[in-house]
Each structure stands twice: as C-alpha cells, then as structure tokens.
Structure 1
Amino acid sequence: MACSRYEYVKSYELDDRILPNVWIVIRIDGKKFHKFSNAHKFEKPNDENALNVMNAAGIAVMQEFRDIVLAYGQSDEYSFVFRKDTTAFKRRASKLLTYVTSLFSTSYVMNWPKWMDRQLVYAPCFDGRTVLYPSDANLRDYLSWRQADVHVNNLYNTAFWKLVLESGLTNQQAEERLRGTLSADKNELLFQEFGINYNNLPAMYRKGTILLRKRVVQSANDDQEKGSQAIVPIHDDLIREPFWREHTEILGKYVPGKYVSEVSSSPRLLKMQLSEELQLAEQLQDKANIS
C-alpha cells in the first residue's frame, strides 16, 4: 500500500548494512544439540550419517548463495564465508543471517531421511551470528581456530567414549580419568588400551568438512570447462599453507577450481549432487523436446 499514513513506521528500521570490503562469516550452531543427539541415538563419538545431514544442509546453502566461497562444518556447527564484494541482500546483516539460518534449518530437516534410518522425534533448532573479518589473515585465523577446535574436542570425545563404551567406566569416571591430560596422553591411551592410532581415524572426524565450489572432472587431463560444477566436500588441513596454495580461488579471483574425482570413488554427497544435476538436465531437455 503506497503512501499510507502508517508508512512512517518504516523509519524505525535500523540500517544494518555491513561495511564494504570485509569478509562476512555467518556461523550456524545447533541449539541444545547434546539433547537432540541423545534423543535420536547418534552413534558415539561420531555419527557419520548425522554429520552428512549437516554437510548436505551446508551444500544447500552454498547452492543458494553463489557468493559463498567456502563453508566449514564440524559437529553441530557450520561457517559460511561470503566474498568481500558480495551484494547479496544489499549486505544487510539481518537479512543474510536470517536467510542462511532458516535455509540451513529447513535443509537439515529435508535431508534427514536421505541419511538417517530413524524418524525425527522433534525438529532441530539452530542459532546464528554474523562476524566480520577485515583481512585475509583474520579470516584464515578464524578458520584455523574452528579446525583446531575439532581436533581438541574429537580427541577428547574419542577417548571418553572408548572408556565408557568399551572399558565400562561411568561418564564421571571417564571424565576423572581424562582430567588434566594432554593430547599426547590421550593419543597414548587410545593406542595402548584400544589399539587405535588416532591419525588413522576418518579425516572428517579429525578435520571437519570443507565445502568448495569446483569443476568436477574425471582425470587431471580433462578440460576444466567440460566438468560439472558442484559443491565438493573436502577433509583437509586448512591451517597449513599447502591448502591455500592449492585452492587459490578462495582468497584470489573467485573462479571455481578443478577437482579430479572418478565417479566410483567420489564422496556420496558429491555423487548425489551430480545425479540430481543430471536428472534436472534431462527434465529440461524433455521439456524442450515437447515444446
């Protein structure tokens, strides 16, 4: 309704446009996810399928926002990095935050039956925050902080649940056993008592999941332009320099890099994307033939 006498109330809305030329990071966190994971009987210390529900929701957000150059997920959280010059929603902080949070939440629910063999008892809840980083170094330090958090938490949880589930300790006894221990102590405990070399555990558990937009090809000799564009899940060390030298498109000119993956060995998350794209292309071709 134009020129309504009530329209003056719009003047009460705050201008929350984000400063130009800064990295925008939106981090999603599960609300009371310890209770949620218990209610849905997540495998301890890591439930691969539950983690992939999170990853699938993260992919859905990246598919919606092409200005997201990288997403990083672990446990019940996901961080989405928007390129510095994004103009999505005119850089309004509240719009970006609410859209990403709601899209992630609904995508989590929609992807649940694709990965989990049990029904949702109740809907999950996620909160979010928007943080700005002015320099590339600040952004890298943020992502390094989140990946270091994965290592600390997963090493503790792996040792804790081994003591509880296999040694028969109570939760309190396991906590007391691990109190004051260093990383080396937990690694030694896992190896000596359970025969586990922590470094041999799946990289997704130890390093989290990095989502990058790539051109997927079948061999290194294939032309990048012929590849299918997809959101590729990578489990790598983003703290060290080699990662950033390999994926220069993150901080530099944003052109999706090449990712070599044979169909038979591709991650299931990637196979599902490529299959859905193929089906969509076939449907569009069928419509074109009919018309």
Structure 2
Amino acid sequence: MANSRFEYVKQFERENLLLPETYLIIRVDGKGFHKFSQEYEFEKPNDLRALQVMNRAAMNLVKQFPDIQLAYGDSDEYSFLLRRSCTLFERREMKLITTFASFMSVNYMFEWNKEFPEKPIRSERLPTFDARAVVYPTSTLIRDYFSWRQVDCHINNLYNTTYWNLILKAGMTGKEAENRLIGTVSSDKNEILFKEFQINYNNEPEIYKKGTIIVREYNDWKTLSNEVKEEELSDRQKQRLEKQRKKADIVECHVDIIKDEFWEKRPWLLQ
C-alpha cells in the first residue's frame, strides 16, 4: 500500500487476536432461514436435499482449510473445530468469522443451484450466514460443546417430527399442534408418533437424529503426534505436516459423538 498523509486513519483499526494454543470453534448460522425455508418450500419435518446442500457447502470449507479437524452440522448451523496450534489468518477473529460466513453463503448458493435447478436462488431471498468464534482451553470443553450441539439436534428433531405429523397427518393447525405438545417430554412425543402415526422414532434416519459429522481421518496419526510443539519444527517439517493434512481422507458420517468411542478412535482431534 502506498504511503500518503491519509494513512494515519489506519490507527483506528483494531484486531482481536484469539488466544494461542487453545481450541478454536467457528460456528456458522443461517440468517433468517425460517423465512428462507418457507420461500423455497422445504419438505417437512426434514428436507433431505436441503440438508445435503448444507453438508456439501461445509465439506467444501473443510477441504479448503486443512486446519479444520472436525465439523458438525444440523439444520442451518455448522460448527468447525480448528486444531489448537493452527495459525490460520494469524488467529484474527474478524478475519476468521467473515471468511467462514462468506464462504458458507457463497457455497450454499452454488450447491443449492446444482441440487435444485427447478427452483434456483432468487435475489429477493438469498441464503446468508453469520459466524462467531469461541476459544476453549481444554479437550473436555470441546467434547461437551459437541455433545451439546448433538443433544440439541435430537431434541429439536423429535419435536419437529411430532409437530409436523400432527399438522400434516392429523390435520391440526400450527397453534393446535403447539398446544398439544406443551409440557410433553421425549417419551410423550415418542408415544404420540408411535400410537397415532405408527412411527418408531428410533427407526428415523440417523442424519435427522444425530446431525452430520465431517471429520479428517488419518491412516497413521502418529506422524502428527508432535504437532503440539509445531513451533519447534523446521519449515520443511511444517510443510510435510501441512501436506499430510491436505491428503487426509475427509469423511461424512452420522454417529454418536457424545460417547467415548468416536473420540478414542480419533486421538488427533484432541491431542
């Protein structure tokens, strides 16, 4: 940038650098997606094709940034876990959240128009996302965070599945369905689904009940085990690690991330 007498205005810029050697989670949320889903007539209670659009947009982001170890998504939300020693954008908060939000917005529209050529995105109702960055100091907090998001997915999906069956199959209005579900617990909703609609909630697709996990898989994670002291590595060693991250398999699955098994099989996530 050329120097000029006006350059003093840069003194007013402020950067929030996120703490080093802490886990970073960038959570991206759809903005106004309730109206968006109405405008583009999402199937209820779940629109599988729309979920796949969201998942592919998130997958594109994971492929773009090797620092992302894990992503978890449900509905119009995705949480991305960045490794503790990552220095993406020098850990500048505004740079991270604006990049992730804009990347998801653009990729969602791109993937939507591929999946739904019969109803392309219109300028009067565009898919937009915002983002926030949260730092967590311990692996326990990371596990609790993703457990919280998966439990939230289950609670919301059970409610929505019951709510929309009351409307679509029992002929209730939205207000009537809401009143019917006031004060109910999970067992009550399961009973309504089974007795009135012959739906065993346990047999519902896992993608709806558990959300979507996108994880970077390594055949030999031990080659990355020294990453915690990455600042001590030579430039050549760092480049080798970066290549390994880029070559890692990126897998989509719909499994339990609350229990230990998922994490024990992937020690590199919380190393």
Same fold (TM over 0.5): yes
Question: Which residue does the alignment assign to 1:87?
Answer: 87
- Residue number among 201, 205, 208 corresponding to 2:204 in the alignment: 201
Q: Quote how far apart the aligned CAs of 1:125 are.
A: 1.4
Alignment deviations for residues 104-161 of structure 1 (CA, whole Å, 9 cap, x no partner): 1100011112222422233111111111111101111111111110011000000000
Is 4-13 or 16-25 further displaced after alignment?
A: 4-13
| SS of equivalent residue, structure 1 residue 250 | helix
- Residue number among 232, 254, 266 corresponding to 2:251 in the alignment: 232
| SS of equivalent residue, structure 2 residue 268 | coil
Question: Which residue does the alignment assign to 1:124?
Answer: 127
CA distance in 2 between counterparts of 1:50 and 1:16 reads 35
Alignment deviations for residues 198-243 of structure 1 (CA, whole Å, 9 cap, x no partner): 1110000000000012369xxxxxxxx9xx7442111011011111
Alignment deviations for residues 35-67 of structure 1 (CA, whole Å, 9 cap, x no partner): 100110100010001001110110111111110
Q: Quote how far apart the aligned CAs of 1:245 are.
A: 1.2
CA distance in 1 between counterparts of 2:114 and 2:248 reads 22
Question: Which residue does the alignment assign to 1:5?
Answer: 5
Question: Which residue does the alignment assign to 1:241?
Answer: 260
CA distance in 2 between counterparts of 1:113 and 1:97 reads 25
What pairs up with 1:241-280 in 2 under 5 angstroms?
A: 241-252=260-271
Is 113-122 or 197-206 further displaced after alignment?
A: 113-122
| SS of equivalent residue, structure 2 residue 3 | coil
CA distance in 2 between counterparts of 1:125 and 1:100 reads 11
Alignment deviations for residues 44-101 of structure 1 (CA, whole Å, 9 cap, x no partner): 0100010011101101111111101001100110111111111111110110111111
Alignment deviations for residues 263-287 of structure 1 (CA, whole Å, 9 cap, x no partner): xxxxxxxxxxxxxxxxxxxxxxxxx
CA distance in 2 between counterparts of 1:236 and 1:26 reads 21
CA distance in 2 between counterparts of 1:178 and 1:90 reads 48
What pairs up with 1:81-230 in 2 under 5 angstroms?
A: 81-116=81-116, 117-121=118-122, 122-214=125-217, 229-230=248-249
Give the number of equivalent residue pairs.
242
Residues 195 and 186 of structure 1: is their aligned pair in 2 closer, same or farther, counting only changes over 3 Å? same
CA distance in 2 between counterparts of 1:37 and 1:59 reads 21
Is this contact kept in 1: 2:23–2:137, CA < 8 A? Answer: yes
CA distance in 2 between counterparts of 1:4 and 1:134 reads 42
Residues 32 and 15 of structure 1: is their aligned pair in 2 closer, same or farther, counting only changes over 3 Å? closer
Where do 5+ consecutive residues of structure 1 fail to align?
A: 217-224, 253-291
| SS of equivalent residue, structure 1 residue 96 | helix
Query: Are 1:59 and 2:59 counterparts?
Result: yes
CA distance in 1 between counterparts of 2:58 and 2:128 reads 15
Q: Quote how far apart the aligned CAs of 1:184 are.
A: 0.4
CA distance in 2 between counterparts of 1:214 and 1:164 reads 42
Which letter maps to 1:209?
T
Question: Which residue does the alignment assign to 2:229?
Answer: none
Where do 5+ consecutive residues of structure 2 fail to align?
A: 220-243
Q: Quote how far apart the aligned CAs of 1:16 are.
A: 1.1
Q: Quote how far apart the aligned CAs of 1:247 are.
A: 2.1
Question: Which residue does the alignment assign to 2:236?
Answer: none
CA distance in 1 between counterparts of 2:4 and 2:202 reads 65
CA distance in 2 between counterparts of 1:177 and 1:96 reads 43
Greater length-normalized contact order (CA 8 Å, ≥ 6 residues apart) = 2
